[in-house]
Amino acid sequence: MDEHFIKIHKWLYPVSWIYGAVVTVRNKLFDWGFLRSKSFDVPVICIGNLSVGGTGKTPHTEYLIKLLRNSYHVAVLSRGYKRHSRGYVLATSQSTAHSIGDEPYQMYTKFPSVTLAVDENRCHGIEQLLAIKEPSVEVVLLDDAFQHRYVKPGLSILLTDYHRLFCDDTLLPAGRLRESVNGKNRAQIVIVTKCPQDIKPIDYNIITKRLNLYPYQQLYFSSFRYGNLQPVFPSVAPKADSLTNELPLSALVNTDILLVTGIASPARMLEELKTYTDQIDLFSFEDHHHFNHRDMLQIKERFKRLKGEHKLIVTTEKDATRLIHHPALSEELKPFIYALPIEIEILQNQQDKFNQHIIGYVRENTRNSSFSEREDAHQS
């Protein structure tokens, strides 16, 4: 698909050089200590990338939440991109995608036991999280904060898309890099995301050489794994299993689908659904798109145009957070709207190694040793 091809706008190179010079000076000011990075006395794990656009930060953050939540009280701090609020906001049961952002809201609804907050000032956000006494925060996950250097994380995880490796890209606006490739040197872990399930051993070797990492950096490869469809409005979903409230992907055979997405790259999701049905109408919006009244009317009209006897609207978990409270969404559409969840799979039989890398860092840096002991008991 054309989304998988890297487009470099060479005529914008002069602007990229100016942008790159500014970013380089900023990074040097941090490296030389003129701008200060603040450390904290709890484990802080940063998940980010060098580029704009989707590399899978949210599902990888969710992977870390699931890995750590049974042994430590985890907090997630995000910027809350495109939220309709400012400053520090702690997620509560009254929060919406508008108040804290679509991706933070997605994580909060999936993991209500996790403390989640948004703040464009990450230092201030962490300070506010650490001031919470019941329960006290033991691990902080920084979502999309690789360039926010005022915080010095104890562990940085850098993601790069298999279809658009940072070594093949260039700086904004000619390409999609937020900073130069040298920024990768700040990461202790690099993950090549969105890999095909049938990736060949030779591809691992080629990518490893091209990324040119240092010996202190660990390289992993991950792939998306899709779960059963989840009804966005379960109380009115007639197709969902009465026990699990899910719809297996195998049930999509002979089903017409309107695929509604507001993400950076719907290509992988479309490929997955096409393994079950060819009858798919893709209705794609820009990343983090806020649906308006006209969008709702178009979704309704395109759904009506589907000709099959069996038809559904499928969307992403992130887009579902913006649809679920939308006042203009037709009531007659709600029983047909399902979200396709994404999980991360670490490839090359490296999952245990990756998990132990993360757990080892947290255990060594947790200020309360009793929680390390509890983590040991949980792992056994």
CATH code of 72's domain = 3.40.50.300
Query: Rg of the chain's alpha carbons, rounded to an integer?
Result: 21
Could you tell me if 169 and 193 lie in one domain? yes
7 within a domain of the structure (yes/no):
no
Determine whether 327 is exposed, middle or buried from the number of CB atoms within 10 Å of its CB (0-12, 13-18, 19+): exposed
Please name the residue ranges forming H helices in the chain.
13-31, 57-68, 97-100, 102-110, 122-130, 201-211, 267-274, 293-305, 317-323, 351-365, 369-379
Tens-place pLDDT, residues 82-119: 898 999 999 999 999 999 999 999 999 999 999 999 99
Domain that holds residue 267: 228-339
**232 marked as binding residue:** no
363 within a domain of the structure (yes/no):
yes
Could you tell me if 216 and 243 lie in one domain? no
Could you tell me if 335 and 350 lie in one domain? no
Query: Phi and psi (nearest 5°) for 345?
Result: -120, 125
**261 marked as binding residue:** no
From residue 22, alpha-carbon distances to 27, 29, 50, 169, 187 in Å are 9, 11, 15, 18, 21
Structure-block tokens of residue 264: 């950076």
327 within a domain of the structure (yes/no):
yes
361 within a domain of the structure (yes/no):
yes
Could you tell me if 209 and 239 lie in one domain? no
Determine whether 216 is exposed, middle or buried from the number of CB atoms within 10 Å of its CB (0-12, 13-18, 19+): exposed
**308 marked as binding residue:** no
Q: Quickly state the pLDDT bin for 375 (edges 50, 70, 90).
A: very low
Tell me the pTM.
Answer: 0.91
C-alpha dihedral, 72 to 77 to 80 to 81, nearest 10°: -110
96 within a domain of the structure (yes/no):
yes
**55 marked as binding residue:** yes
Tens-place pLDDT, residues 4-49: 557 899 999 999 999 999 999 999 999 999 999 999 999 999 999 9
Count: domains in the chain: 2
Could you tell me if 206 and 244 lie in one domain? no
**362 marked as binding residue:** no
**115 marked as binding residue:** no
**76 marked as binding residue:** no
3-state SS class at 351? helix
**51 marked as binding residue:** yes
* pLDDT at position 263 over 50: yes
| Helices 102-110 & 57-68 angle (0-180, nearest 10) | 30
